[in-house]
């Protein structure tokens, strides 16, 4: 079994930073939703040291099928939360999906 992760990049203006971090950091609304699903592992929220407006999230799952089951089972809640968080970032880019190497 290999782990599965997806990575997003956000550019968040200083005036939205607290609000963004409250929703995307560990214990935030996204993580609380993810934790309800079997197979969720962890979310990392990283802020760039050189560009304070730039954040990256790494969402980890035990495998892709666990993530797909989450999206199927929690789709309405996911879309509602996504709509709530719309506008925090002035730019949002999916950087891709990844297989974790060396995960048993």
Kindly tell me if the per-residue pLDDT of 60 is higher than 70: yes
Residue 70 burial (C-beta neighbours within 10 Å; 0-12, 13-18, 19+): buried
Kindly tell me if the per-residue pLDDT of 93 is higher than 60: yes
Count of other CB atoms within 10 angstroms of residue 62: 17
Residue 72, domain extent = 4-98
Residue 43 is assigned to a structural domain of this protein: yes
What's the total number of domains in the chain? 1
Whole-model pTM: value is 0.91
Please, which pLDDT band fits residue 1 given cuts at 50, 70 and 90? low
Tens digit of pLDDT for each residue in 3-12? Answer: 999 999 999 9
DSSP codes joined into one string, 41-83: EEEEEEE-SS-TTEEEEEEEESSHHHHHHHHHHTHHHHHHHHH
Half-sphere CA count of 6, side-chain side, radius 13 A: 11
Domain CATH code at residue 32:
3.30.70.100
Tens digit of pLDDT for each residue in 28-37? Answer: 999 999 999 9
Residue 104 is assigned to a structural domain of this protein: no
Residue 103 is assigned to a structural domain of this protein: no
Residue 89 is assigned to a structural domain of this protein: yes
The pLDDT, as a whole number, for residue 2 is 77
Kindly tell me if the per-residue pLDDT of 51 is higher than 60: yes
CA nearest neighbour of 33 among 81, 65, 72: 81
Residue 46 is assigned to a structural domain of this protein: yes
């Amino acid at each position: 079994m290999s782990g599965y992760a997806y990575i997003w990049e956000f550019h968040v203006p200083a005036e939205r930073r607290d609000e963004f971090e409250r929703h995307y950091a560990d214990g935030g609304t996204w993580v609380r939703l993810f934790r309800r699903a079997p197979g969720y592992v962890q979310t990392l929220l990283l802020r760039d040291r050189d560009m304070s407006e730039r954040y990256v999230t790494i969402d980890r799952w035990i495998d892709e099928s666990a993530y797909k089951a989450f999206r199927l089972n929690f789709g309405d809640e996911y879309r509602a939360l996504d709509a709530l968080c719309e506008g925090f970032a002035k730019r949002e880019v999916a950087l891709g999906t990844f297989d974790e190497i060396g995960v048993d």
